[in-house]
């Protein structure tokens, strides 16, 4: 009987953690367009996804979680969104600024 009780508790715990993830969707890719109402993302498979943003959308920059920066074209993003009537609405936008490598400095040759 004790064995059955332990199994029931174990399976109950596993079921609740499976439902805790939620019904949201994730969009991963590179920003191709952004304005006050939407973010357009190109996924690694080449598909373009349009995600709506609003005042409740939270933007979080990697390494600067308390910053007020917004993503720009070329930044990598992971967007957590919910689907409402065929429209994706972003709840959180995690992004990392595109790193731009400066051009190498050519040494000056003195003759």
Contact between 102 and 109 (Cβ < 8 Å): no
Burial code (b: 16+ CB inside 10 Å, e: under 16) for 72-94 equals eeebbbbbbbeeeeeebbbeebb
Q: From CA 107, how far away is CA 44, in angstroms rounded?
A: 38
Residues belonging to the chain: 111
pLDDT in tens, 30-87: 999 999 999 999 999 999 999 999 999 999 988 776 767 889 999 999 999 999 888 9
How confident is the model over 85-107, as pLDDT tens digits?
889 999 999 998 776 555 566 67
| 29 occurs within a structural domain | yes
DSSP 11: H
Q: State the pLDDT at residue 10.
A: 55
- The per-residue pLDDT for 17 is 45
* Number of domains the chain contains: 1
pLDDT tier at 26, thresholds 50, 70, 90 = very high
Q: Could you list the residue range(s) of the whole structural domain that residue 85 is in?
A: 22-96
Q: Tell me the CATH number at 58.
A: 2.40.50.320
């Amino acid at each position: 009987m004790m064995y059955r009780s332990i199994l029931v508790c174990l399976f109950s715990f596993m079921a609740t953690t499976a439902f805790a993830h939620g019904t949201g969707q994730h969009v991963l890719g590179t920003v191709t367009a952004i304005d006050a109402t939407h973010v357009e993302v190109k996924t690694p498979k080449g598909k373009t996804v349009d995600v709506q943003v609003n005042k409740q959308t939270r933007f979080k920059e990697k390494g600067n979680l308390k910053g007020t920066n917004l993503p720009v074209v070329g930044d990598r993003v992971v967007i957590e969104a919910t689907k409402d009537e065929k429209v994706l609405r972003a709840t959180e936008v995690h992004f990392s600024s595109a790193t731009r490598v400066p051009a190498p400095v050519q040494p000056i040759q003195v003759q």
